[in-house]
């Protein structure tokens, strides 16, 4: 079965499973390590709310190519929190594909998770999820889109309305590297969605590297302006041929979140957002 260029199969329960590269394990390790590391802080908010938000949730289970079956992000995050110092009080999921969302919802309810599914796409789900959450809680979001344009800035603006929200975002390096020329043309709006207003601030008649650095700097400034500064260190996820795929980046208002991120990420290996480093 093929959906939007991705391969899926059915597991023994007849539920969809996403076919993924082995690097999905590295991605989930960062996310679940953060879930574990933030559990002492989360414990203090159990009476208000400590929600998990995943609006690109996929089906909740994946098959590594020529490898094992693994949990998808919402299931892995739920399970890790459950065995940490504090569970999540709600697991808020969404996906643009209703069948994938239904599969994740079923898997989570079978595990007894406090799951709430909201139909996608993400930019319609996020405002509803944010509206439903306790504004005094401590929440965590994982944003894992396949490409840059889908990580539209309004998602982050909506999440920023929550007083305490830590976010790990997937920023596609391969998309940025492969498509810089295409996306800067006015026929394409991927960069406009990722970093609205960039055209008035960034020159395009420069080298691709200078352009990419400027775009990320502009995006980072926009994040600061909505009160969600990004961590200095980003975790680079590489493919099986060592190719650069994407960065996982922490966005958070609170100092503690940045301290936890420094503990679980590997700043020594990925010192900066340098899109051309080997």
Ligand X SMILES: C[S@@+](CC[C@H](N)C(=O)[O-])C[C@H]1O[C@@H](n2cnc3c(N)ncnc32)[C@H](O)[C@@H]1O
Residues that bind ligand X (CB under 6 A): 55-58, 62, 72-73, 95-97, 100, 120-122, 144-146, 150
User: Quick check: bond before 202 cis, omega within 30?
Assistant: no
We find the least distance from the C-beta atom of residue 18 to ligand X, in angstroms, to be: 6
We find the least distance from the C-beta atom of residue 39 to ligand X, in angstroms, to be: 20
- Return the beta strands (E) in 31-187 as ranges: 51-54, 61-64, 69-71, 90-93, 115-117, 139-143, 165-172
* Complex with ligand X: residue 193 or 258, whichever CB lies closer: 193
* Complex with ligand X: residue 87 or 120, whichever CB lies closer: 120
We find the least distance from the C-beta atom of residue 206 to ligand X, in angstroms, to be: 30
Tell me the C-alpha distance between 38 and 164, whole Å. 12
| Residue 205: alpha-carbon gap to chain centroid | 31
Alpha-carbon distance values, 156 to 142, 153, 168, 194, 197 (Å)? 11, 5, 11, 10, 15
For 4-62, the three-class secondary structure string (H helix, E strand, C coil) is CCEEEEECCCCCEEEEECCCHHHHHHHHHHHHHHCHHHHHCCCCCCCEEEECCCCCCEE
We find the least distance from the C-beta atom of residue 3 to ligand X, in angstroms, to be: 7
* Complex with ligand X: residue 5 or 14, whichever CB lies closer: 5
We find the least distance from the C-beta atom of residue 155 to ligand X, in angstroms, to be: 9
* Cβ-closest position to ligand X: 72
| Residue 122: alpha-carbon gap to chain centroid | 12
* Complex with ligand X: residue 124 or 207, whichever CB lies closer: 124
* Complex with ligand X: residue 127 or 229, whichever CB lies closer: 127
């Amino acid at each position: 079965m093929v959906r939007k260029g991705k391969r899926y199969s059915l597991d023994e329960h007849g539920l969809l499973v996403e076919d993924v590269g082995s690097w999905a394990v590295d991605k989930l390790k960062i996310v679940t390590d953060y879930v574990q590391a933030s559990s002492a802080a989360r414990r203090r908010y159990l009476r208000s709310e400590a929600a998990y938000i995943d609006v690109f949730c996929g089906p909740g289970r994946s098959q590594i190519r020529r490898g094992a079956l693994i949990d998808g992000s919402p299931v892995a995050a739920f399970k890790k929190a459950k065995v940490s110092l504090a569970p999540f009080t709600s697991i808020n999921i969404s996906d643009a594909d209703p069948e994938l969302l239904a599969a994740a919802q079923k898997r989570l309810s079978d595990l007894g998770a406090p799951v709430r599914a909201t139909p996608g796409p993400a930019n319609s789900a996020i405002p509803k999820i944010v509206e439903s959450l306790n504004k005094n809680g401590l929440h965590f979001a994982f944003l894992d889109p396949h490409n840059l344009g889908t990580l539209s800035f309004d998602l982050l603006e909506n999440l920023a309305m929550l007083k305490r929200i830590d976010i790990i975002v997937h920023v596609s390096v391969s998309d940025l590297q492969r498509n810089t020329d295409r996306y800067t043309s006015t026929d394409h709006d991927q960069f406009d969605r990722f970093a609205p207003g960039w055209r008035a601030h960034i020159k395009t008649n420069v080298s691709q590297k200078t352009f990419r650095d400027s775009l990320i700097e502009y995006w980072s400034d926009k994040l600061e302006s909505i009160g969600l500064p990004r961590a200095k260190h980003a975790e680079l996820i590489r493919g099986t041929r060592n190719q650069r795929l994407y960065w996982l980046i922490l966005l958070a208002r609170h100092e503690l979140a940045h301290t936890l991120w420094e503990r679980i990420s590997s700043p020594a290996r990925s010192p900066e957002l340098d899109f051309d480093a080997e």
